[in-house]
Structure 1
Amino acid sequence: MFKKEKITSMSFKEFMNSKRQPVTENKKQRQLATALIVGSVFLTALFDPTAASANAVDGMVAEKVVRAFDPVIQLVQALSYPVGLTMMLGGGLFMMIGNSERGLAMIQKAGMGYVLIQMLPLLMDLLVDIAGSM
């Protein structure tokens, strides 16, 4: 059934100095079969009737990927209120003990962080729309 080929060993120098053996008929048949298979796969991919629905599938996949982060975003948004409140309280305490510059900086940073975290879904949708238009 299977033909066993003879294996010979030679040194590297002999290998580099030897001439190439002519392509056998069996190799030509394998090369032709490979070319036919590659060609048929290419033509099938080129004229595939399901390619029109590929964009719709890509859109659904992108939507699912974006929506996969919704629980994480909701968790971060839920934690942003107590963390922001704590930072603002700390800033107020710094103002009370006389370090008003540091206190105001803490309050400003906490407020900006809270607003940005609450706007995460809007920013995410904006990025998805920008990426989809390209």
Structure 2
Amino acid sequence: MKTETMSIGEFLSGDYKKKEYNRKNSKIINKVGTSITIPLILAKPVFAATPTAIPVGTTEYLGEKSLEILAHALDPLVDLMVALSFPISSVVVIGSCFFFMLGKSDRAWTGIQNGALGYVLIQIMPMLLKVLKEVGSAI
């Protein structure tokens, strides 16, 4: 059994493990690397495709990409709002119905209207965003 001495800093940093690991794995990597690369070098290509370049100006490409990124930046938030609109508006409408029981019908009707209007507006928000996107791309 071989005893090796090292400082506390070397032991705590763990560098001695990396050196031993690299020596062991370098032999394995060399064997595997050559056994894989030789058949790939000698193999004929299955198909040869020539790339075709589409002439697009840099500003046009960047403009389209930035518009696409901006158009879809709020999609997760919109999806979350659409998913939560029904449960939240249901709670608002049911809570407003309790105001009828307390004799405050004006406040009850206001709450029902606000809950229903909020639900409808949130449900049509994705359509409104698509219309705005189309208007923006037409300009």
Instruction: State the TM-score, normalized to the length of structure 1.
Output: 0.57
Q: Deviations over 1:61-120 (max 9, x none)?
A: 312221121111111112211210110011110012211111011001100000101111
Give the match for residue 121 of structure 1: 126
Corresponding letter in the other structure for 1:104: W
* Pick aligned residue for 1:96 from 82, 101, 108: 101
Give the match for residue 82 of structure 2: 77
Give the match for residue 64 of structure 1: 69
* Distance in 2 separating the partners of 1:121 and 1:91: 27
Question: For the aligned residues, what is the CA RMSD?
Answer: 1.8
* Distance in 1 separating the partners of 2:138 and 2:113: 35
Corresponding letter in the other structure for 2:135: I
Question: SS where residue 119 of structure 1 aligns?
Answer: helix
* Distance in 2 separating the partners of 1:107 and 1:100: 10
Alignment of 1:1-134 (within 5 A): 50-51=56-57, 54-134=59-139
Question: SS where residue 65 of structure 2 aligns?
Answer: helix
Instruction: State the TM-score, normalized to the length of structure 2.
Output: 0.55
Taking only the aligned residue pairs, the percentage that are identical comes to 32
**Where does structure 2 lack aligned partners over 5 or more consecutive residues?**
1-54
Give the match for residue 37 of structure 1: none
* Distance in 2 separating the partners of 1:50 and 1:116: 39
* Distance in 2 separating the partners of 1:109 and 1:125: 25
**Where does structure 1 lack aligned partners over 5 or more consecutive residues?**
1-48
Question: SS where residue 98 of structure 1 aligns?
Answer: coil
